[in-house]
Amino acid sequence: MSELSEQLSREDAELRFADFTVDDAWRLGSRMRAAAVEQGLPVVIGIVLGQQRVFHSALAGASADNDEWLARKTRVALRYGQASLAVGESFRDRGRDFDTDARLDPREFAAHGGVVPIRLRGGAVVGAVGVSGLPQRDDHDFVVAQLRAFLAS
């Protein structure tokens, strides 16, 4: 297991919610949008609960392509119940390539960083939160930092 995989595993154990509602999604998404605006990040931000999009915002400099990347990464996080970056890294750890070895349509699924599952303390995944518009590690790190701040508040 790579050092990155170990870090992602620790983050998964840390970033857990007692509960997560539509109102929580609005508060988290709004916090993320404010932080992205303050940092001048050209991203789209999205939160889903189950299969329903409950928050979406695009900032200056983001494009429709970012919307598509976000949707593809969200499908990966929900299908595997792991951060999209963790899924890609798990394939790399085994010397495999997600795009060819997952046997999923790469036009629909992307194992690139930026989407993290919304996981309850008991382990159930109830949704996902993510961004797209930066290099994949930066997308992932932004989401993790925002989740940490939200959970601490």
Q: What is the separation, in whole angstroms, between the first and last Cα of the chain? A: 33
Its CATH architecture, for the domain 3-152, is: 2-Layer Sandwich (3.30)
Q: Which two tokens stand for residue 57?
A: 């915002």
Contacts 24+ apart (CB under 8 A), 136-139: 136/85, 136/88, 136/112, 137/85, 137/113, 138/113, 139/43, 139/112, 139/113, 139/114
pLDDT per position as a tens digit, 37-81: 999 999 999 999 998 999 999 999 999 999 999 999 999 999 999
Residue pointed to by tokens 């919610």: 17
> Distance between CA 63 and CA 102 in Å, rounded?
27
What pLDDT band is residue 4 in, cutting at 50, 70 and 90?
confident
Write the DSSP symbol of residue 71: H
Instruction: Assess whether pLDDT exceeds 90 at residue 2.
Output: no
Q: Are 69 and 132 in contact (CB under 8 A)?
A: yes
> Distance between CA 120 and CA 126 in Å, rounded?
7
Q: What is the pLDDT of residue 1?
A: 80
Q: Which two tokens stand for residue 128?
A: 């996902």
Every domain of the chain and the residues it spans:
3-152
Enter the pTM of the model.
Answer: 0.95
pLDDT per position as a tens digit, 97-149: 999 999 999 999 999 999 999 999 999 999 999 999 999 999 999 999 999 99
